[in-house]
């Protein structure tokens, strides 16, 4: 249901992606649409039951990102792009489904930065699922216009999705 709602917000069609949510509520957040979700189930079919191994503290954006995307690096959210790159992971400037979006510290985000998981992409916007943006330990889906000046970059999903 999360991905379906993100697709509706973006005006795109998603095929072959799974992710279920029991309850949702739509709200406006800083000029972008945000959907509050009530479950914390994996976002994609390739995420193992119970998520990927995750050593980040529950409730923070880093926990949710590492739950839905394999992460072998450490550090605050704002350091993730550099830390992933230093470990040999590919990074990119454009969004792709399953990628981790890394946001610069400040400008509406924590002084430690922020990370989210890209769940849908269109030419003019992308949608993310994130934790601790609308409240500690709370997951929401938000659409963000593209290009996004607050973005540092993306860490695409590099595991096998077959």
The tens place of each residue's pLDDT in the chain, 162 residues long, gives 444 444 445 554 333 333 333 333 333 444 456 676 767 889 999 999 999 998 999 999 999 999 999 999 999 999 999 999 999 999 999 999 999 999 999 878 999 999 999 999 999 999 999 999 999 999 999 999 999 999 999 999 987 543
Distance of alpha carbon 85 from alpha carbon 59, whole angstroms: 25
Domain residue extents for the chain: 2-155
Which 8-state DSSP code applies to residue 77? Answer: G
Per-residue pLDDT at 5: 47
Residue with tokens 């040999």: 88
96-142 confidence digits (pLDDT tens): 999 999 999 987 899 999 999 999 999 999 999 999 999 999 999 99
User: What is the third-level CATH fold of 2-155?
Assistant: endopeptidase fold (from Nostoc punctiforme) (3.90.1720)
Give every strand in the sheet of 100-103, ordered side by side.
24-29, 32-37, 139-145, 125-131, 114-121, 100-103, 151-155
| d(C-alpha 94, C-alpha 74), whole Å | 23
Question: Residue 18: its pLDDT value, please?
Answer: 35
Q: Which residue has the tokens 């994609």?
A: 44
- pTM beyond 0.75: the answer is yes
Q: How far apart are CA 142 and CA 133, in angstroms?
A: 9
pLDDT of 38 reads 61
Q: Is 37 helix (H, G, I), strand (E, B) or coil?
A: strand
């Amino acid at each position: 249901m999360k991905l379906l709602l993100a697709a509706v917000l973006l005006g795109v069609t998603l095929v072959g992606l799974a992710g279920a949510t029991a309850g949702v509520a739509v709200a406006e957040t800083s000029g972008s649409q945000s959907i509050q979700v009530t479950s914390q189930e994996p976002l994609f079919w390739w995420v193992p039951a119970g998520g990927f191994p995750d050593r980040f503290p529950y409730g923070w954006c880093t926990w949710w990102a590492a739950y839905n995307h394999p992460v072998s690096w450490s550090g605050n959210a704002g350091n993730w792009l550099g830390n992933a790159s230093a470990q040999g992971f590919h990074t990119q400037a454009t969004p792709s489904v399953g990628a981790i979006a890394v946001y610069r510290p400040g400008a509406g985000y924590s002084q430690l930065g922020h990370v989210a998981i890209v769940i849908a992409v269109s030419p003019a916007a992308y949608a993310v699922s994130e934790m601790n943006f609308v409240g500690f330990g709370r997951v929401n889906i938000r659409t963000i216009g593209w290009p996004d000046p607050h973005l540092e970059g993306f860490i695409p999903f590099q595991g096998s999705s077959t």
